[in-house]
């Protein structure tokens, strides 16, 4: 049932029909020992996030504030209205708006989504979503190769890019695997040093990939990297966290000319964590590159009577044109997730997104400072971070994670398998969902764990 609050007039009318005077008479059949006569200890005007947290704390089996794993999948507060609206039948069961005259609501929503993403990222064009962030990056690279028309094929991929993204790139770009060149990061700073590029061969360089923030949560030197790439005649592909873009410089303003293609994972925008999914990818670019953009684009127009109408303006995917002419045969439309993300961004607005990003950053800094105050725990990288950071532990990481899990803490992501040189390191994330008590509890649990080694 849609959530529609009752007005005082609605309540009065209902009581009149039922021939009763007060709402509490509806609950007289509840046994008195089970009835709660005292109101909740809740101040007026509290946020939905705080009220939700209060309800969770009343259930002993639920331990809110215990999740500190990031690594590409992030826990943010999702307003209840997001999925209440997204679950309506016209959104939940809709697929593809083949007939514009019968799909104006869906088309308008996608148009609004494209507008929001383009503004958030400082780009000119946004498509209507892809499968996930990793495949969106693969599509961005294929797009760059098409734009270079075979004249350049080398792609620089930093090791600070998400390990899963690098694996997907190697799988989808199998025919180009010899042209994928991984760039190492500075061990003490955890970023791609622009100075290290001067001694590298740039022949056949088609594009460089710049994560912001990178997998370690560290901020890259996006301006210097962007300018270097453009000086070599290469394209710049940004891989960004959309929440971070509310606080950091948008890719469209990187360097002197800005990024050429921007992609990433849309999960932080109102999509819950649920057993490995769901996800959706976003992809934006310059207007001059729009013909090579995979997926579909919704446009706004007017009919003969001056009424606003929406239609699929560009559809460079295999269902709509000859398969051999399609820009992609693997792109898809995560319509329901795009719907939720659009509602999420609409509810929060620009200031709300900025606040989420700022509070997440603040909590991460507080947690980093408190954890590194524990003897034996050190911060690995000296560069600025967004809302994730890497710490080095004085005992095996996996053993620490097991012990903290017994206390109900999901303490972070082990880097043992993906970065052997960081085998004693842990990637930790903190968002706006954490409280001061959550951060203190993490510190106390970790300190106790290390003292008992």
- 173-186 pLDDT tens trace: 998 888 999 999 98
Asked if 328 and 295 count as a contact pair (C-beta separation under 8 A), the reply is yes
In CATH, what number does 82-344 get? 3.40.640.10
At residue 1, the pLDDT reads: 47
User: Residue 87, Cα to own-chain centre: how many angstroms?
Assistant: 20
Structure-token pair, residue 413: 């992501």
Predicted confidence (pLDDT) at residue 285 exceeds the cutoff of 80: yes
Locate the domains of the chain by residue range. 82-344, 350-451
Enumerate long-range contacts of 392-396, CB under 8 Å, 24 or more apart. 392/422, 392/424, 392/425, 392/426, 393/424, 393/425, 393/426, 393/450, 394/450, 394/453, 395/450, 395/453, 396/424
Predicted confidence (pLDDT) at residue 398 exceeds the cutoff of 60: yes
Grouping H, G, I as helix, E, B as strand and the rest as coil, residue 219 is coil
Which residue is associated with the tokens 């069961």? 93
**DSSP per residue over 401-446, as a string?**
HHHHHHTT-B--EE-TTT-GGGTTEEEEE--TT--HHHHHHHHHHH
At residue 39, the pLDDT reads: 66
At residue 427, the pLDDT reads: 98
At residue 38, the pLDDT reads: 66
Mention the CATH class of domain 350-451.
alpha beta
Question: Per-residue confidence at 54, pLDDT binned at 50, 70, 90?
Answer: confident
Element (H, E) at 32: none
Burial class (CB in 10 A: 0-12, 13-18, 19+), 372: middle
| Average of per-residue pLDDT values in the chain | 90
- CA atoms of 299 and 281, how far apart (whole Å): 20
Distant-in-sequence, close-in-space partners of 171: CB < 8 Å, separation ≥ 6: none
Question: Per-residue confidence at 149, pLDDT binned at 50, 70, 90?
Answer: confident
Q: Where are the beta strands (DSSP E) in 286-396?
A: 296-302, 308-315, 378-379, 388-392
Predicted confidence (pLDDT) at residue 254 exceeds the cutoff of 80: yes
Structure-token pair, residue 120: 């958030």
Higher pLDDT, 21 or 354: 354
């Amino acid at each position: 049932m849609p959530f529609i609050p009752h007005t005082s007039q609605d309540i009065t009318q209902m009581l009149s029909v039922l021939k009763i005077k007060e709402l509490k008479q509806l609950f007289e059949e509840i046994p008195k020992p089970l009835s709660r006569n005292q109101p909740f200890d809740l101040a007026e005007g509290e946020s939905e996030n705080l009220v939700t947290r209060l309800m969770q704390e009343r259930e002993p089996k639920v331990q809110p504030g215990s999740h500190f794993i990031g690594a590409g999948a992030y826990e943010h507060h999702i307003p209840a209205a997001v999925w209440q609206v997204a679950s309506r039948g016209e959104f939940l069961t809709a697929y593809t708006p083949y007939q514009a005259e019968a799909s104006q609501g869906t088309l308008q929503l996608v148009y609004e989504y494209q507008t929001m993403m383009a503004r958030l990222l400082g780009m000119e064009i946004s498509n209507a979503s892809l499968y996930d962030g990793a495949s969106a990056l693969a599509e961005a690279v294929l797009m760059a190769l098409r734009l270079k028309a075979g004249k350049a094929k080398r792609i620089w991929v930093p090791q600070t890019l998400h390990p899963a993204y690098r694996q997907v790139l190697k799988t989808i770009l199998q025919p180009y695997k010899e042209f994928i060149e991984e760039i190492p990061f500075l061990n003490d700073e955890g970023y791609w040093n622009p100075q290290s590029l001067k001694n590298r061969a740039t022949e056949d360089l088609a594009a460089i990939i710049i994560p912001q923030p990178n997998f370690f949560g560290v901020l890259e030197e996006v301006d210097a990297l962007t300018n270097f790439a453009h000086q070599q005649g290469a394209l710049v592909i940004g891989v960004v966290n959309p929440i971070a873009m509310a606080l950091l410089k948008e890719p469209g303003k990187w360097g002197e000319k800005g990024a050429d293609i921007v992609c990433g994972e849309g999960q932080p925008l109102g999509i819950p964590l649920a057993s490995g999914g769901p996800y959706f990818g976003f992809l934006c670019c310059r207007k001059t590159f729009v013909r090579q953009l995979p997926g579909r684009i919704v446009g706004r127009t007017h009919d003969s009577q001056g009424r606003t109408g929406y239609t699929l303006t560009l559809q460079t995917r295999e269902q709509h044109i000859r398969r051999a002419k399609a820009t992609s045969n693997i792109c898809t439309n995560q319509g329901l997730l795009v719907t939720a993300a659009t509602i999420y961004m609409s509810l929060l607005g620009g200031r709300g997104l900025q606040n989420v990003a700022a509070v997440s950053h603040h909590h991460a800094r507080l947690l980093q400072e408190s954890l590194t105050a524990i003897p034996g725990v050190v911060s690995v990288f000296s560069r600025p971070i967004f809302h994730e950071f890497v710490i080095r532990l004085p005992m095996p990481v996996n053993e620490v994670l097991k012990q903290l899990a017994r206390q109900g803490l999901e303490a972070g992501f082990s880097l043992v398998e993906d970065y052997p040189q960081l085998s004693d390191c842990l990637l930790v994330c903190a968002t706006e969902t954490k409280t001061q008590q959550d951060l203190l509890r993490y510190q106390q649990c970790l300190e106790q764990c290390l003292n008992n080694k």
